[in-house]
Amino acid sequence: MAFVELSGVSLTYRLGKETTAALADATFSIEKGEFIAVVGPSGCGKSTIMKLVTGLLPATGGQVQVAGKRVGGPIKGVGMAFQNPTLMPWRTVSAWPSRIRP
């Protein structure tokens, strides 16, 4: 059994009446301990795949499984570093409380 498995996964973004197919019928698996790289040009779906596998986005079609369980929401113990710093853009290193400085 694969550790990560996508079976016929599709994701369509919707904004009002407009739709954009980000993934269509993606199928692949990753074995436990296997190292892979997903490469491609900007906008090809790399981040979308990561968001689906980590449960940050629900698939609009197909099924995503991690460790034999269907992904239905964010997975505990999994982290993802986004390319753009969007978590707390108003914070800076100098804004950290003094109690955590060495």
Phi, psi of 51 (to 5 degrees): -65, -35
Tell me the per-residue pLDDT of 56-73, one tens digit each, with 9 for 90 and over: 999 999 999 999 999 999
pLDDT band at residue 95 under the 50/70/90 scheme: low
CA-angle at 43, arms to 40 and 49, nearest 5°: 75
Helix, strand, coil: what percent of the chain each, to 5? 15, 30, 55
Q: Which residue has the tokens 């400085």?
A: 101
Q: What are the structural domain ranges in the chain? A: 4-100
The two three-digit tokens of residue 40, written as one number: 């491609």
Tell me the per-residue pLDDT of 35-51, one tens digit each, with 9 for 90 and over: 999 898 888 888 899 99
Give the Cα separation of 3 and 32 in Å (integer): 5
For the entire predicted model, the pTM comes to 0.76
- At residue 10, the pLDDT reads 96
- CATH code for the structural domain at 4-100: 3.40.50.300
